[in-house]
Each structure stands twice: as C-alpha cells, then as structure tokens.
C-alpha cells in the first residue's frame, strides 16, 4: 500500500484511525475526570453496592420484596412493573387504535369526524400533561376509601384503587371493607390505573394512524373483489384487507410499541414504582449516579433490541410469499 | 379532461343507510349533543373570567373558572421572570416564532434567510439570559413557561442538525469503523427513553467534567435534548440520503467529484426535500417532549402550570389550567403538523 493521500485505501484507514484516536482520547479524558470527581466525593465505582439491602419499600410488586431485599431485587421489581404496564398498555392501545382507525375510515361522516378529532387532539398534547390529568381526575373523582363503589360483586373502586378477588397464599379471597379501606384480595393502585389509561389512550391515537395508513395501502380492487365474491363488510376487513395491510403496519407499529414502553418511564412523575423510579431512589440513597443510570439505560436498551428482534421475525413470517 | 366522478352517497345516505350505520349516527350524534349541552354553558355561559376566587368557588360545578388563567398567566407563559424585565421574554418569544415562520416559508428558502433566522434565535436567547449591553443578568432558574419551552425546543432542534447530518453521513459511509460508531450512537440513544437522557444530563454530566467546571442545569439539559434529537433526526436524514438514486452518485463520481463534493453538491441537496416534512414531525415530538424537563426541575410550560397549581387556593381548578395549557400545546403542534402534511402533498405532486 502506498502511503499517499491520493490512495483511497490509505485515506480510508487514515480517517478511521483518526476517529478511533479522537474517541479514545475523549474517553480517557472523561474517565480521568470521573475518577477524580468520584475520589473527591468519596464514592467508589462498581456495582457491588447493588447486593446490599435497599432499605426502601415498594408498594406495588409482582414478586416477594421487602425493605431488607437487595437493590438487585428492587430493580427486578421495577422491571416487572414496567413490563406489566407496557404489556397491558400495548394490548389496550392496539385494540383501541384498531377501533378508532376503522371508525376514521367509516362512510358515516359523524363517526369519521369523531375518530379523526380523537387522533388530532391526543397526538398534539404532551403525554406527561395527559398522565397528570388522568391521575388528578382519578384522585378527585374516586370515592373515599371507606365508601367504595361496587362495580361487580367483589370488585370495588375507591381512592385506594381497584380491589378484586384473587388468590392469596393459595386461597381465593374476596376483598372486604375494613376500618381503613379494602382488605384482602388484590388491588391495583390509582397510579397504575392512570398510567395504564393515559399511556394506552395516547398511544392508541398513533396506532390508529398507523393502521389507517395500512388499510389505505391495500388497493381498492381487493375489497371490491371480495364484495363481488359475497364477503360481508367485517369479513372483507378480517380476511382480505387486514392480512395484506399487516405488511405495511408491522414496522411502524413496532416503533409505537417501543415508544409506549419507553414512555412508561414518565410514571416516575406520578409515583408508580417502575424502573426509573427505583433507579432514582437508588441514586438518591447511594450517590452511585453512574451505575444506577447505566443500569437503567441498559435495561431499556435490552428491551428495545429484544422487541425489534421479535418484530423482525414476525415481519419475515408475514412477508408476501411470491412465486419463485 | 378528467373523467366524470361517480356520484358518491348523499349526506343523508351516508348517515342513515343500513341499520348499524343509523344506530351509530344516533349514538354518536346523541353523545356529541349531550357533550355540547354540558360543555358550552360550563366553559362559556356560567364561566368566571376574572381572577376572583370567591366567584370561582361559588360557580364550582356549574361554570369554569378561567380566573386561574387570568391570575397565573404570567407564571404559565414566562415562569418566574422578573416582572419589570418582562418585555424581554415577550420580545424573545415573538422573535423566535417569527424566525421559525420565516424558515417555514418555502419561497424564502434562501441561505441568507436561514442565517438571519439563526441570528434572531441566538439573539433572543441572549436577550432572555441578559448580562450584556446594560441588560441585567437573569438566573436561568427564573426562566420558565412557554418562553422556556420555545427556547428548548428550537435550540434542541437546530443545534442538533449539524450533528444529525454528520451521523447520517457516517451511518451510510463505506468506512466500517465510522459506520459502527455512528450506528451505535444512534441506536443507543433511540433505545432509551428521554427521561434517562435527562437524568444523565443532570446527574452524570457534572461527574465527567473537570472539577470546578459546573455548567448550568439549563445548558446541561439543552445538550441532552440536542444529543437526543440528533439521533432521531439522523435517521430521518439517512432516509433522505437513501432515497437519492444510486445513479446520481455514480454520475457525480464519473465526473471526478470526490466524496465531500458528491455529498454536499449532489446528495444532500436532493435529500433535503424528502427530509423536511419528517423533520418537522420530529420537531413536533421534541416540542411535546420538552415537557419532560420538569422532571429535572426546569419549569417550562407544563412545569410552570404545576407550579401555579401548587397554590392551594387555585388547586381545585386544575381542569381549567390543564385545558388552557393543552390548548397552547395543541395550537403549536397541530399548526406544525398541518404544515408538514401540506409540504408532503406539494412535494408529492411536484414529483409526479
């Protein structure tokens, strides 16, 4: 190889070498600063502190956890809480979005207008504002703890949340009114209800747009042909249009699911104990900012990559099978 | 001549053809009517417009209390900016909006317009911060409200553009190392929520800087927002670069143009058109996302509403406050999204 700037091969190596050197120098400077700053504060870098007792309680949890459990367990509780709201949110948002998308394409102008307005309003107002609105409204409208609203036999709604019968230690328990509110069974907090509702409604507006674009991408001849064969409106949609629209819908839909998962991090503002709120509590208690935040980012990154990978597989499966 | 259009169903037909359709019309129409009958008297008829707490309390349940807006508008729009200096954020906001409007006009897409708009924006930021030409310096924690939202959204979006172009070029480059670095940055940033980036900006950035150097929280959050939006814009720009036909690059190469000349004279100018509408959409997303900076205690439009509602006397009237702020966000966002859709339509028909 001739070492001359007119040699494209040499130039390519030179540029990349320069990039690597610059990045390494930056990294070295940052790490040096970090070490000096941490030494000045008396904090040691490392993930060892995560095995120590967390010392804070988490009200909502899907696995056994107490204040004596380790920070690792606290993170696990947070991750499960994030996943719980994300998975339920994805299901509800998809259902709602499909409904709104079909409504927006309806021949009935009143229904179409209502659905388009739903999308326009919800998409153009920040999610954080909507979450707070639902949270404050729930707090204001729900009945007091000692006078719960009976939705179904055994299902009660009050400021303490939604209580419903559930297995407790292997026994089927129906909640009852105790001196300070509902006792027994399982309960969902108002924070969770507000977060789930807010996230699902906000995302459903985006999903409705995705599905609408997908349905419109299917040529009109397809539904006309189906009609000529005697398919009913619902059959046309289910058997002819949606399967073909799926190919256009899946990639942007993946994005929306990821957005919903990432947006669940806003729960930290209304006090639902998901991943970010566990991480900030950890940070405030231990001062290990670098570790707490890196771990937080790593979890989200893993979730994102995992979802993209799953959806890529699904996309391959739903791709048009053409004659070879 | 266009072929005659088939006559569509009349309004009455589209409303009342079929049993299900008629039922839907009646249901939705009834709901809308009920909503109007409830909402209009509440929002207008029985509403209290002045900042009169007593009247608001009496009208509770029957009329809206817009008094919360008349009482707190200064906090909501301009944060805790010193009262006697209020003209500065007002002028800065008008200037920023004017600059963005000027950039938005397609007949004015000329380099000198862009440069002067950029100057206007930089000037309005300096005007708000002060500390020169006899203007008193205003501490950044006094900035807030709509003026802070505009400032963060505009700075975050414009400062990120050069970085976004570099990342996009890097990701579509032939050099494997450059591509790897750019891809990693873009995917990592797009894989994590903005909240974590903001936490990083407010808790981690100071640890990585030389001791004694402690930039203001506004600057740190601004840098965080810029890096975040750069990753999203980079993907948009990469899409534009990919849409330029391969033949264009080959033609440039056969004319003897090098890499930089090809990119700046052939690829980027053609990518520009495709890229503007989705860039406006990413602007909208960032505009809404600036509301998250309240989590790291910077009080922009939504944050200052919460400050205003921390006042226990006005707290019960949160619905009115929320409606007002939601309206402000809605006006800005829907105007921008209408603009983006218009551009998209025009470009699509120009291509045909």
What ipTM is given for this predicted complex? 0.88
The pLDDT, as a whole number, for residue B9 is: 73
Q: Locate the chain A residue with the closest alpha carbon to B31.
A: A114
The yes-or-no verdict on residue B218 having pLDDT over 80 is: yes
Query: What pLDDT is recorded for position A283?
Result: 85
Spatial distance between the Cα atoms of A121 and A202, rounded to a whole number of angstroms? 10
- What is the set of domains in chain B, with CATH numbers? 71-205+214-351 (1.10.3720.10)
Query: What is the percent of chain B with per-residue pLDDT over 70, rounded to a whole number?
Result: 97
Residues of B in contact with A133 (CB under 8 A): 319, 322, 326
pLDDT above 80 for A146: no
Query: What confidence score (pLDDT) does residue A120 get?
Result: 92
Contact partners, residue A225, CB within 8 Å, separation at least 6: A240
Q: Assess whether pLDDT exceeds 60 at residue B1.
A: no
Taking CA–CA distances from A119, the nearest residue in chain B reads B334
Separation of alpha carbons B132 and B296, rounded Å: 28
* Average pLDDT of span A18-23: 90
B82-93 pLDDT per residue, tens = 888 888 889 999
Residue B32 touches partner A, C-beta closer than 8 Å: yes
Residue with the larger pLDDT of the pair A68 and B233: B233
Query: Mean pLDDT across chain B, nearest whole number?
Result: 86
Q: Is the Cβ–Cβ distance between B221 and B298 less than 8 Å? A: yes
Structure tokens at B171: 């990701």
Partner-chain contact B208 A34, CB within 8 Å: yes
Which of B153, B207, B315 best tests the A interface by mutation, with the highest count of A CBs <10 A?
B207
Band the pLDDT of B231: cuts 50, 70, 90.
Answer: very high
CATH top-level class of A71-318: mainly alpha
**Contact at CB, A107 and B14, closer than 8 angstroms:** yes
Residue B2: per-residue pLDDT = 63
Residues A293, B206: Cα–Cα separation, whole Å: 14
Integer Rg of chain B from CA: 25
CB contact under 8 A, B32 and A110: yes
C-alpha A303, offset from chain centre = 10
Distance in angstroms (rounded) separating the CA atoms of residues B97 and B90? 11
**Whole-number pLDDT of residue B164:** 94
| Matching residue, tokens 């921390």 | B310
Tokens 């070879």 correspond to what residue? A324
* Contact check, Cβ <8 Å, A125/B329: yes
Residues of A in contact with B191 (CB under 8 A): 300-301, 304-305
* A200 pLDDT above the threshold of 90: yes
Q: Cα angle at A275 between A272 and A277, to 5 degrees?
A: 55
Residues in a beta bridge with A186:
A164
Chain B environment of A19 (Cβ under 8 Å): 177-178, 181
Read off the pLDDT of each residue in A28-50 and give the average, rounded to a whole number.
82
Q: Nearest-CA distance from A256 to chain B in Å?
A: 12
Question: Could you please report the per-residue DSSP string of A217-265?
Answer: HS-HHHHHHHHHTT--HHHIIIIIIHHHHHHHHHHHHHHHHHHHHHHGG
> What tokens were used for B9?
């169903």
Mean pLDDT within A85-107: 92
Which one has a higher pLDDT value, A181 or A208? A208
Angstrom distance (rounded) from CA B252 to CA B267? 9
Mean pLDDT of B133-137: 80
């Amino acid at each position: 190889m001739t070492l001359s700037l007119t040699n494209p091969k040499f130039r390519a190596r030179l540029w990349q070498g320069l990039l690597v050197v610059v990045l390494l120098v930056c990294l070295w400077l940052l790490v040096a600063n970090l070490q000096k700053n941490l030494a000045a504060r008396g904090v040691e870098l490392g993930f060892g502190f995560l095995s120590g007792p967390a010392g804070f309680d988490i009200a909502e949890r899907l696995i056994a956890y107490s204040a004596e459990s380790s920070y690792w367990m606290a993170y696990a509780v947070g991750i499960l809480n994030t996943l719980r709201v994300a998975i339920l949110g994805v299901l509800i948002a998809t259902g709602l979005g499909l409904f709104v998308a079909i409504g927006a394409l309806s021949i009935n102008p009143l229904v179409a207008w209502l659905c388009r307005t739903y999308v326009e309003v919800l998409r153009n107002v920040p999610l954080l504002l909507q979450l707070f609105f639902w949270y404050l409204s729930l707090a204001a409208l729900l009945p007091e703890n000692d006078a719960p609203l009976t939705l179904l036999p055994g299902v009660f709604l009050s400021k303490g949340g939604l209580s419903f019968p559930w297995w407790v230690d292997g026994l089927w328990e129906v909640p009852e009114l105790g001196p300070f509110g509902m006792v027994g069974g399982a309960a969902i907090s108002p924070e969770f209800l507000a977060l789930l509702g807010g996230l699902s409604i906000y995302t459903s507006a985006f999903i409705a747009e995705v599905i609408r674009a997908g349905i419109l991408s299917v040529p009109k001849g397809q539904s006309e042909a189906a009609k000529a064969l005697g398919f009913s409106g619902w059959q046309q949609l289910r058997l002819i249009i949606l399967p073909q629209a799926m190919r256009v819908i899946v990639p942007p839909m993946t994005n929306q699911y990821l957005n919903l998962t990432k947006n669940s991090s806003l729960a930290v503002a209304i006090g639902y104990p998901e991943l970010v709120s566990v991480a900030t509590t950890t940070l405030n208690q231990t001062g290990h900012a670098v570790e707490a935040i890196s771990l937080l980012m790593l979890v989200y990154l893993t979730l994102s990559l995992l979802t993209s990978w799953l959806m890529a597989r699904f996309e391959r499966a739903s791709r048009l099978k053409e004659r070879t | 001549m266009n072929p005659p259009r088939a006559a569509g169903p009349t309004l009455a037909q589209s409303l009342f053809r079929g049993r299900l359709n008629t039922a839907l019309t009646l249901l939705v129409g009834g709901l809308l009517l009920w909503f109007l009958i409830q909402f209009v008297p509440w929002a207008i008829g029985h509403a209290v417009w002045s900042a009169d707490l007593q009247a608001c309390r009496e009208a509770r349940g029957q009329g809206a209390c817009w008094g919360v807006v008349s009482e707190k508008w200064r906090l909501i729009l301009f944060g805790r900016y010193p009262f006697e200096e209020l003209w500065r954020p007002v002028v800065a906001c008008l200037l920023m909006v004017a600059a963005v409007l000027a950039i938005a006009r397609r007949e004015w897409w000329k380099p000198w317009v862009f440069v002067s708009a950029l100057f206007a924006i930089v000037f309005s930021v300096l005007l708000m911060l002060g500390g020169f030409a006899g203007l008193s310096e205003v501490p950044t924690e006094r900035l807030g409200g709509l003026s802070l939202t505009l400032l963060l959204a505009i700075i975050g979006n414009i400062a990120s553009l050069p970085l976004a172009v570099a990342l996009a070029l890097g990701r579509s480059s032939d050099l494997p190392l450059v591509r790897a670095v750019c891809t990693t940055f873009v995917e990592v940033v797009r894989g994590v929520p903005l909240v974590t980036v903001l936490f990083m900006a407010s808790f981690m950035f100071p640890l990585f800087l030389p001791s004694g150097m402690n930039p203001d929280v506004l600057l740190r959050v601004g840098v965080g927002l810029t890096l975040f939006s750069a990753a999203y814009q980079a993907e948009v720009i990469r899409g534009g670069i990919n849409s330029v036909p391969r033949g264009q690059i080959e033609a440039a190469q056969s004319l003897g143009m090098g890499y930089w000349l090809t990119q700046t004279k052939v690829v980027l100018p053609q990518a520009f058109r495709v890229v503007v509408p989705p860039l406006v959409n990413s602007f909208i997303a960032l505009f809404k996302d600036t509301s998250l900076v309240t989590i790291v205690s910077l009080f922009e439009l939504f944050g200052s509403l919460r400050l205003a509602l921390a006042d226990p006397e006005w707290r019960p009237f949160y619905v009115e406050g929320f409606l007002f702020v939601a309206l402000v966000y809605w006006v800005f966002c829907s105007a921008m999204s209408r603009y983006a859709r218009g551009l998209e339509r025009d470009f699509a028909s120009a291509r045909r």
